[in-house]
Amino acid sequence: MRSYSRRFLAAAALAVLTLPVAACTSDKPAPSASGASAGAPAGSAGPADKGTGEQSKFFVQADYDAQMAMRKAQATGPSDKPWEQSIDPQLVDTAEFKKAGPYHLCFSNAAVDNPWRQVGWKTMQAEVALHKEITEFTALDAEGKDDKQISDIAELQGKGCDALIVSPNTTATLTPAVSGACPKVPVIVFDRGVQTDCPVTFIKPIGGYAFGAAAAEFLVDKVPAGGKILALRILPGVDVLETRWSAAKVAFDKSDLQVVGVEFTDGDAAKTKSVVSDYIQRYGKIDGVWMDAGATAVAAVEAFEDAGQPVPPINGEDQQDFLKKWSDAKLTAIAPTYPTYQWRTPVIAALKILKGEQVPKVWNLPQPAITQENLATYLKPGMPPLHYALCGCEDLPGYPEKWGGTS
């Protein structure tokens, strides 16, 4: 009997230990990722609390404005090859780098640890294979580690590269390494940037603000006034994801919608599904779902299906699993993209530079969104579920097998 009561005490102590954690915060409103108040930050219009919380530290008004302008701008270049197009290019002269072929290209890759980078990396290899004048292509994978990438960049400088392509793992940490390489070899940076303008060109799609705004504006358009929006984010504190959310926040603050929750999912499908189910249960009905990345969009859709509710307007990304779900379940959806075709552009840029042709200083690639009207063009039966539709790889040798698909 004694041991019983001691056990009971132990468990009771545990309960006492853990319950207040929940209780003491019960006066907070729903959005967990934010403070209770939305002090109107510089640049956002809405004085009322839309449930979107404080604006992100990463929000830069000038960058936001520039990206919003680029979304409306017309890109120059061949419209059937968006990876060769650029928006508002400021061309720079590259005569100083001109040399005769054949060429040895080098590539320092941040990682190939997610489906987006996998598709991109295959696309880049196929682009290299297109050009006979590239006789050697040396690529090092930094496996997502800054220190490895710093030593990779140093190592590549000793390999006799004619041009160096860098996809930085992080912006600030890789800046000195890129600065060090610039005097020795023409450098091309793409995807994430660096804090120096020494690379000959920096290639990127329009950017994260454009992604987040496209999705949020779609919801503002489709969801009736007063509708409840659930925002799902992967992680806090990552610049490329923070910009997506901060642009969405600006759009929601200006709207009549109520953001009932901003939740982090770690990019995990089961967690996403649980979070969405909880919100459906808590609010009875959710009228729109905003996502900062599409990888778990299908799980969010399934949460509504399993709850026996119609799926509200939602955004995903250009991955095949989401596009298929969209088409099969006739969703009201949009898929902003961060196109993988940008992996073709650095190779094209390197050859232009080595031939002395002008390139844009900042090469802004168009960043289309998949809508109901063009969904059928991007839905590619036979491609794997995690394939990104905007790979621009359909005309490359080895498609679709090299990308894991069947023709």
Answer positive or negative: Cα dihedral of 391, 392, 393, 394: positive
Q: Residue 133, interface with another protein (CB under 8 A)?
A: no
Q: For 370, left (φ over 0), alpha (ψ -120 to 50), or beta?
A: beta
The minimum distance between CB 256 and another protein, in angstroms, equals 23
CB neighbours of 156 closer than 8 A, spacing ≥ 6? 106, 108, 138, 140, 164, 181
Question: Taking contact as CB under 8 A, which single stretch among the options 64-72, 215-223, 275-283, 332-340 is the one that binds another protein?
Answer: 275-283
How many Cα atoms occupy the beta-carbon half-sphere of 107 within 13 Å?
Answer: 24
User: Of the ranges 9-17, 51-59, 148-156, 309-317, which one interacts with another protein (CB under 8 A)?
Assistant: 9-17
Token reading at 95 = 């005569």
In the bound state with another protein, the residue whose beta carbon lies nearer, of 3 and 74, is: 3
Give the integer Cα–Cα distance in Å for 203 and 189: 6
End-to-end Cα spacing for the chain: 71
Do strands 288-291 and 228-233 pair parallel, antiparallel, or not at all (unpaired)?
parallel
- The dihedral formed by the CA atoms of 63, 69, 72 and 73, expressed in degrees to the nearest 10: -100
By beta-carbon proximity to another protein, the closer residue of 97 and 264 is 264
Q: Identify which range of 17-25, 57-65, 67-75, 247-255 contacts another protein by CB under 8 A.
A: 17-25
Considering the complex, state which of residue 18 and residue 90 has its C-beta at the smaller distance from another protein. 18
Q: Please state at what angle helix 61-72 crosses helix 208-222, rounded to 10 degrees.
A: 70
Q: What sign does the dihedral 326-292-86-144 (CA atoms) show?
A: negative
Is the backbone of residue 124 left (phi > 0), alpha (psi -120 to 50) or beta? alpha
The binder of another protein chosen from 270, 309, 330, 394 (CB under 8 A):
270
Contact predicate 167/190, CB 8 Å: yes
Among 266, 310, 330, 394, binds another protein (CB under 8 A): 266
By CB under 8 A, tell whether 10 contacts another protein. Answer: yes
Counting Cα atoms < 13 Å in the Cβ hemisphere of 192 gives 23
Number of residues engaging another protein in binding (CB under 8 A):
58
What does the block give as tokens for 191?
């995807």
Residue in 54, 146, 278, 357 binding another protein, rule: CB under 8 A = 278
* C-beta closer to another protein: residue 144 or 176: 144
Question: CB-wise, 113 or 256, nearer to another protein?
Answer: 113
Choose the stretch contacting another protein; rule: CB under 8 A; options: 28-36, 100-108, 172-180, 358-366. 28-36
Contact flag: residue 285 with another protein (CB under 8 A): no
Retrieve residue 175's tokens: 């800046």
Please tell me the total number of residues recorded for the chain in this structure: 407
Min separation Cβ 24 and another protein, Å: 9
CB of 22 to another protein, least distance (A): 5
* Residue 277 lies near another protein (rule: CB under 8 A): yes
Residues 288-317 that bind another protein (CB under 8 A): 296, 298-299, 302, 306
Report if residue 386 touches another protein, rule: CB under 8 A: yes
Query: Which spans of this chain sit near another protein (rule: CB under 8 A)?
Result: 2-4, 6-8, 10-15, 17-19, 21-22, 25-26, 28-33, 111-115, 117-118, 261, 263-264, 266-270, 272-275, 277-278, 281-282, 296, 298-299, 302, 306, 321, 384-386, 404
